[in-house]
């Protein structure tokens, strides 16, 4: 006996139970690698431990899970390795904020107590992501879950840092960096977002020393930085200023004299052709300063306030200082003008504070040698990007890459393994914490900076597998098979994993990269809390079921197009899941009369028993669908896979196959075969759907196997292979003809308002489907309650005549249609059409309407007029046929 299913499909009753079971039973734990079994692996893009899952994660995890489940069903030993990122700045900000609410500050607590507070917070809330992923059905191997700050990964980070330092690829130096005065740390180029803004351009006059009344005018958008000027540059080819080379000018408001130098940084055609040189606060000036061995002045402190070198301005905020300096220049008669000026303003990606270029001592990765090898592996095709254009974006970025500033002035992260001896000035970079100074045995202090979060995530594909130990996991699962991630971290993360993977493992970190789209709201707007258009994945999952939300995301995930997510779509796919549920209920109820029905075996061959055309058809379709799914999933065309499944289940399996099977199950002959095929077809179809809708398929598959499934879970059942020889185009064409015949008969009934049960005789003239005729005739008779009478051709077209590419139909309507009532109905209908047509035509004839109406309205009116004319013609033809019939 089949189990009785709940009357209504209620995902809330099914999904949490399976989610728990899958994890408790450790179904998704990768097996010990063994010969003959191909390994397949993927590491998760680790979500920030601060966060909870948003719709972007859900899209990413859905696409990953579809591929992972599919590969597992294809017999591979699959590892989906989960984990989270410690997310330096983000986490520190979150914890600082919550401490501030208790009136505490990080500085008061001290480094050790603060770090302990972050760990406590992590232990408390860090499991949220894991719980959410489990609920969403992610088939991860939780026994291998990692965290970027756990002991193993910290060891990998230190090994990589020290090795790169030993190889001369990590260095420490004073350079200009992007400084966030709010976060009080350096950030990398990638962590600065640039936006167009309107600033002011100040023209400032510098007096030439020894030539009273002579000035050099330079322009600046940040006049407060004048206080850190060390030179004024002019172009060596610029005749106007040649006589000033080697002379000095006075930096306004300071009384300091600085040299006039010749440098290409000054362009004769820009502004006045003279530029101020401020190495302490501008990246280009920093380079010019190096060329000319100029001193470096820094006039801002960590918080963006003017420091002791700023004289009278010391203590002022940088923006207040800007105003004050401008006023003082004005008073001194040194301001030649102020103009509005369009500029690109860099802001901190985390806190939106305006970034200050500032000289400071930091750690850097010398990137060019790493980038070179990382470009080569992609050029050689060792990593394939989908969509392909991402490879070009990758090459462009790698070609223009700058050294990577990896030190951050934070407390939460991997502390830099460098120690300093203040007594003798020795610096040590070491794998193990040193006890004392090897030079003078004096005390050491460790560098206070931590590493950029992306430094540790750059090692993720091998650090998570146990590197630097030569583990079995590393041997089995590196290189990983695939990476699925978003475009926004192509440079932050993907590029760096390739650089570090190739350098340390001697092989690529992954063979394929699929870059997925972004999830936006229904109006294609970015989802944001301030706009209030955020769709919470757990809320919609609760409402429509995880399967429906997963299906929606997959169906909309066409490569390279952003997803405009609307809840109606989820509602639609919840109805789809419900349709499949009802199909199962129908099957179970109808098959209860076959107690000896054999169970479906472990291998699904997608072949029909017997030779009934309906069975041949559904198995032909199943094989075609399996083939199409294989191709779609291999090419990351998830929307295609979803579309194929939807069309198959809804239009073919439920709407036709179940209806046709119902008739056969009630017949005395062939019912057993029909039943056996129905079970086998549904079993195979559930397996095909499983990667996209794991919950409902598991529930129904277990029920279908009546307590004795061939595998503990459908997730282990082999994915049905497409067998080309079972695809029979002529059988499919025959069944399509049947569908058209039945649909035509149903619309005839509805057009002539015949009762559904009223028997109908229909002459049918086929064009080439004769082979399928007996089965079709029987089926049509049953489905449409019509008797089909085959004829060579239909000579005279009478009332209700229908023509299609495959056949002509002539129903026998005499006696069924009340001719008088029918004529009245048709005349009334005709009159309505005629009136509406006249109105539309009058509109179209009006010059005024044509001029006023927009093109869309005009086209729509024309379309309506054409449709009304067609309907009018049809009513006329029917009336003529009716008159003809009345005569006879």
Please identify, using beta-carbon distances, which residue of 3 and 425 lies nearer to Zn ion.
Answer: 425
Query: Longest C-alpha distance within the chain, in Å?
Result: 124
* DSSP structural state of residue 10: -
The only residue of 100, 351, 589, 859 in contact with Zn ion, by rule CB under 5 A? 351
Closer by beta carbon to Zn ion, 423 or else 863: 423
Question: Of 494, 473, 641, which is closest to residue 41 (Cα–Cα)?
Answer: 473
- Select from 180-188, 219-227, 412-420, 724-732 the region that touches Zn ion (CB under 5 A): 180-188
The distance of closest approach from Cβ of residue 348 to Zn ion in the complex, given in angstroms and rounded to an integer, is: 3
Query: Do residues 181 and 302 make contact, with C-beta atoms less than 8 angstroms apart?
Result: yes
Backbone angles phi, psi at 581, to 5 degrees: -60, -50
Which range in 131-139, 222-230, 299-307, 430-438 contacts Zn ion by CB under 5 A?
430-438
- Residue 283 or 428: the one with the smaller Cβ distance to Zn ion is 428
Contact 660, 742 (CB under 8 A): no
Supply the DSSP symbol for 451. E
CB nearer to Zn ion: give 424 or 634.
424
Cβ distance to Zn ion smaller for residue 411 or 460: 411
Minimum distance from CB of 565 to Zn ion (Å)?
30
Find out whether 326 and 335 touch, Cβ atoms under 8 Å. Answer: yes
Q: Which region, judged by CB under 5 A, interacts with Zn ion, from 176-184, 686-694, 715-723, 724-732?
A: 176-184
Give the residue with the Cβ less far from Zn ion, 440 or 795. Answer: 440
Nearer to Zn ion, 204 or 410 (CB): 410
Is the CB of 420 or the CB of 716 nearer to Zn ion?
Answer: 420
- Contact pick of 348, 429, 606, 633 for Zn ion (by CB under 5 A): 348
Instruction: Name the residue with tokens 């005065």.
Output: 181
Q: Which is nearer to Zn ion, 351 or 755 (CB)?
A: 351
Which class for 5: exposed (0-12), middle (13-18), buried (19 or more C-beta within 10 A)? middle
Closer residue to Zn ion, CB minimum distance, 187 or 799:
187
Contacts to Zn ion from residues 107-146, by CB under 5 A:
none
Indicate whether 475 belongs to the interface with Zn ion (CB under 5 A): no
Residue 126 φ then ψ, to 5°: -70, -15
Check residue 548 for interaction with Zn ion (CB under 5 A). Answer: no
How near is the Cβ of 451 to Zn ion at its closest, in Å? 17
Complex with Zn ion: residue 163 or 426, whichever CB lies closer: 426
Binding to Zn ion by residue 442, rule CB under 5 A? yes
Least distance between Zn ion and beta carbon 180 (Å): 3
The closest of 659, 656, 703, 658 to 683, measured between CA atoms, is 703
String marking each residue 494-523 x if it binds Zn ion according to CB under 5 A: ------------------------------
- Nearer to Zn ion (CB atom), residue 351 or residue 368: 351
State in angstroms the smallest separation of the CB of 347 from Zn ion: 8
Residues 722-741 that bind Zn ion (CB under 5 A): none
Buried b (16+ CB within 10 A) or exposed e, 73-84: beebbbbbbbbb
CB of 427 to Zn ion, least distance (A): 10
Distance between the two ends of the chain, CA-based, in angstroms?
Answer: 59
SS3 487: helix
Q: Quick one: which segment of 207-215, 342-350, 568-576, 737-745 binds Zn ion (CB under 5 A)?
A: 342-350
Stretch that binds Zn ion, among 121-129, 179-187, 237-245, 387-395 (CB under 5 A): 179-187
The set of residues, in sequence order, having a beta carbon less than 8 Å from that of 713 and lying 6+ positions away, is 22, 25, 27, 698
Q: How far is the CB of 351 from Zn ion (least distance, A)?
A: 3
CB of 686 to Zn ion, least distance (A): 51
CB of residue 302 to Zn ion, shortest distance in Å: 12
Query: What angle do helix axes 694-704 and 671-689 make, rounded to 10 degrees?
Result: 150
Question: How far apart are alpha carbons 351 and 304 in whole angstroms?
Answer: 14
The first and second tokens of residue 433, run together, are 């914490």
User: Which letter, b or e, does each residue of 133-148 get, where b requires 16 or more Cβ atoms within 10 Å of its Cβ?
Assistant: bbbbbbbbbbebbbbb
Stretch that binds Zn ion, among 347-355, 408-416, 679-687, 792-800 (CB under 5 A): 347-355
Taking the complex as a whole, how short is the minimal distance between the CB of residue 713 and Zn ion, in angstroms?
Answer: 47
**Between 362 and 480, CB nearer to Zn ion:** 362
In angstroms, what is the minimal distance from the CB of 434 to Zn ion?
A: 11
Nearer to Zn ion, 37 or 423 (CB): 423
Those residues with Cβ within 8 angstroms of residue 494's Cβ, 6 or more apart along the chain or in another chain: 394, 483, 485, 513
Cis geometry, peptide bond prior to residue 781 (ω within 30 degrees of 0): no
Assess contact for 86 and 453: CB atoms under 8 A: yes
Burial 353-386 (b: 16+ CB within 10 A, else e): ebbbbbbbebbbbebeebbeebbebbeeeebebb
The answer to whether 437 contacts Zn ion (rule: CB under 5 A) is yes
CB-based burial, 406-416: b 16+ in 10 Å, e otherwise: bbbbbbbbbbb
Q: In the complex with Zn ion, which residue's Cβ is closer, 355 or 726?
A: 355
Helices (H) and strands (E) in the chain, counts: 28, 29
> Binding residues for Zn ion, how many (CB under 5 A)?
15
Distance of CA 874 to the CA centre of its chain: 50
Q: Which long-range contacts (CB under 8 A, 24 or more apart) does 3-7 make?
A: 3/588, 3/703, 3/706, 4/588, 5/581, 5/584, 5/585, 5/588, 5/700, 5/703, 7/585
With contacts defined by CB under 5 A, name the span among 70-78, 157-165, 257-265, 434-442 that binds Zn ion: 434-442
Stretch that binds Zn ion, among 56-64, 153-161, 441-449, 507-515 (CB under 5 A): 441-449
CB of 355 to Zn ion, least distance (A): 8
Listed in sequence order, the residues at least 6 apart from 316 whose beta carbon sits closer than 8 Å to its beta carbon are 305, 306, 310, 324
In this structure, are residues 133 and 61 in contact, taking their beta carbons and an 8 Å threshold?
A: yes
Residue 248 CB, nearest distance to Zn ion (Å)? 39
Q: Which of 74, 104, 182, 771 binds Zn ion (CB under 5 A)?
A: 182
Give min distance, CB of 421 to Zn ion, in A.
3
Nearest approach, Cβ of residue 102 and Zn ion (Å): 22
Among 180, 484, 754, 802, binds Zn ion (CB under 5 A): 180
766: left (phi over 0), alpha (psi -120 to 50) or beta: beta
Considering the complex, state which of residue 88 and residue 501 has its C-beta at the smaller distance from Zn ion.
Answer: 88
Q: Which of residues 370-429 bind Zn ion (CB under 5 A)?
A: 421, 423-424, 426
Q: Which of 19, 68, 156, 183 binds Zn ion (CB under 5 A)?
A: 183
Which is closer to Zn ion, CB of 427 or CB of 791? 427
Q: Does 439 bind Zn ion (CB under 5 A)?
A: yes
For 575, other C-beta atoms within 10 Å of its C-beta total 13
Question: Cβ of 257: how many Cβ atoms within 10 Å?
Answer: 15
- Cβ of residue 178: shortest distance to Zn ion, in angstroms? 10
How wide is the angle at C-alpha 353 spanned by C-alphas 351 and 357, nearest 5°? 125
In angstroms, give the least distance from the CB of 419 to Zn ion. Answer: 10
Q: Which stretch binds Zn ion (CB under 5 A): 437-445, 539-547, 637-645, 704-712?
A: 437-445
Q: Which stretch binds Zn ion (CB under 5 A): 49-57, 175-183, 203-211, 379-387?
A: 175-183
Q: How far is the CB of 183 from Zn ion (least distance, A)?
A: 3
Q: Which is nearer to Zn ion, 287 or 428 (CB)?
A: 428
Residues of this chain that interact with Zn ion (CB under 5 A) are 180, 182-183, 348, 350-351, 353, 421, 423-424, 426, 437, 439-440, 442
């Amino acid at each position: 006996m089949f189990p009785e299913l709940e009357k209504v499909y209620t995902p809330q009753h099914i999904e949490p139970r399976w989610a728990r079971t899958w994890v408790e039973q450790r179904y998704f734990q990768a097996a010990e690698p063994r010969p003959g079994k191909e390994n397949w692996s993927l590491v998760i893009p680790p979500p920030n431990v601060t966060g909870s899952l948003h719709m972007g994660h859900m899209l990413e995890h859905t696409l990953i899970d579809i591929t992972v489940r599919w590969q597992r069903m294809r017999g591979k030993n699959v590892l989906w390795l989960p984990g989270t990122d410690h997310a330096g700045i983000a986490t520190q900000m979150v914890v600082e904020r919550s401490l501030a609410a208790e009136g505490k500050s990080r500085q008061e607590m001290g480094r050790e107590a603060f770090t302990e507070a972050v760990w406590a917070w992590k232990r408390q809330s860090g499991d949220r992501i894991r719980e959410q992923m489990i609920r969403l059905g992610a088939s991860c191997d939780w026994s291998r879950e990692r965290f970027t700050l756990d002991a193993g990964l910290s060891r990998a980070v230190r090994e990589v840092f020290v090795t790169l330092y030993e190889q001369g690829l990590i260095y420490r130096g004073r350079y200009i960096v992007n400084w966030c005065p709010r976060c009080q740390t350096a950030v990398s180029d990638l962590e600065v977002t640039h936006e167009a803004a309107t600033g002011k351009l100040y023209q400032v006059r510098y007096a030439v020393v020894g030539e009273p009344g002579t000035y050099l005018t330079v322009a600046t958008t940040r006049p407060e930085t004048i206080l850190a000027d060390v030179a004024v540059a002019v172009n060596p080819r610029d005749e106007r200023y040649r006589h000033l080379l080697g002379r000095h000018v006075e930096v306004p408001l300071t009384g300091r004299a600085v040299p006039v130098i010749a440098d290409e940084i000054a362009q004769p055609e820009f502004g006045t052709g003279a530029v101020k040189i401020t190495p302490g606060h501008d990246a280009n000036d920093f380079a010019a300063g190096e060329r000319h061995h100029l001193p470096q002045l820094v006039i801002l402190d960590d918080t963006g306030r003017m420091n002791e070198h700023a004289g009278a301005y010391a203590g002022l905020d940088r923006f207040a200082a800007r105003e004050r300096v401008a006023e003082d220049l004005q008073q001194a008669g040194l301001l030649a003008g102020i103009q509005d000026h369009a500029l690109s303003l860099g802001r901190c990606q985390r806190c939106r504070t305006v970034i200050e270029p500032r000289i400071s001592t930091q750690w850097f990765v010398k990137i060019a040698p790493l980038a070179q090898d990382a470009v080569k592996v992609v050029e050689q095709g060792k990593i394939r990007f989908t969509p392909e254009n991402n490879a070009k974006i990758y090459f462009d970025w790698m070609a223009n890459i700058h050294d990577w500033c990896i030190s951050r002035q934070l407390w939460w992260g991997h502390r830099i393994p460098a120690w300093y001896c203040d007594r003798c000035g020795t610096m040590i970079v070491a794998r193990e914490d040193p006890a004392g100074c090897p030079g003078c045995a004096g005390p050491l202090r460790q560098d206070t900076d931590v590493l950029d979060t992306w430094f540790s995530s750059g090692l993720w594909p091998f650090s998570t597998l146990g590197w630097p130990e030569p583990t079995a996991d590393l041997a089995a699962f590196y290189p990983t098979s695939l990476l699925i991630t978003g475009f926004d971290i192509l440079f932050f993360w993907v590029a760096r994993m390739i650089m570090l993977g190739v350098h340390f493992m001697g092989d690529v970190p992954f063979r394929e990269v699929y870059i997925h789209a972004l999830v936006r709201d229904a109006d294609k707007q970015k989802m944001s809390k301030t706009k209030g258009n955020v769709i919470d994945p757990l809320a919609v999952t609760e409402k429509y079921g995880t399967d429906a939300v997963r299906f929606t995301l997959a169906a909309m995930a066409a490569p390279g197009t952003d997803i405009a997510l609307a809840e109606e779509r989820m509602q639609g796919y919840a109805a789809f899941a419900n349709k499949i549920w009802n199909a199962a209920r129908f099957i179970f109820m109808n098959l209860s009369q076959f107690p000896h029905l054999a169970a479906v075996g472990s291998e699904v061959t997608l072949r029909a028993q017997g030779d009934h055309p309906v069975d041949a058809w559904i198995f032909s379709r199943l094989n075609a669908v399996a083939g199409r799914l294989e191709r779609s999933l291999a090419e990351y065309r998830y929307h295609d896979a979803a579309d194929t499944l939807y069309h198959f289940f809804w239009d073919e399996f439920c709407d036709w196959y179940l209806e046709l099977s119902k008739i056969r199950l009630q017949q005395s002959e062939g019912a057993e075969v029909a039943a056996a095929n129905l079970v086998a077809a549904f079993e195979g179809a559930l397996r095909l759907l499983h990667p996209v809708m794991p919950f409902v398929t598991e529930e129904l598959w277990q029920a279908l196997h009546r307590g004795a499934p061939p595998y503990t879970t459908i997730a282990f059942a082999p994915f049905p292979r497409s067998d080309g020889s079972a695809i029979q185009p002529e059988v499919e064409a025959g069944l399509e003809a049947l569908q058209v015949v039945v649909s035509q008969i149903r619309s005839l009934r509805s057009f002539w308002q015949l009762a559904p049960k009223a028997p109908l005789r229909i002459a049918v003239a086929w064009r080439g489907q004769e082979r399928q005729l007996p089965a079709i005739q029987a089926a049509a008779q049953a489905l449409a309650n019509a008797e089909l009478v085959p004829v060579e051709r239909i000579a005279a077209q009478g009332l209700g005549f229908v023509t299609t590419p495959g056949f002509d139909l002539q129903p026998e309507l005499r006696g069924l249609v009340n001719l008088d009532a029918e004529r009245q109905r048709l005349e009334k209908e005709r009159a309505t059409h005629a009136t509406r047509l006249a109105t539309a035509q009058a509109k179209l004839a009006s010059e005024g309407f044509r001029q006023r109406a927009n093109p869309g309205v005009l086209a729509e009116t024309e379309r309506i007029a054409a449709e009304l004319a067609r309907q009018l013609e049809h009513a006329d033809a029917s009336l003529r046929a009716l008159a003809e019939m009345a005569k006879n």
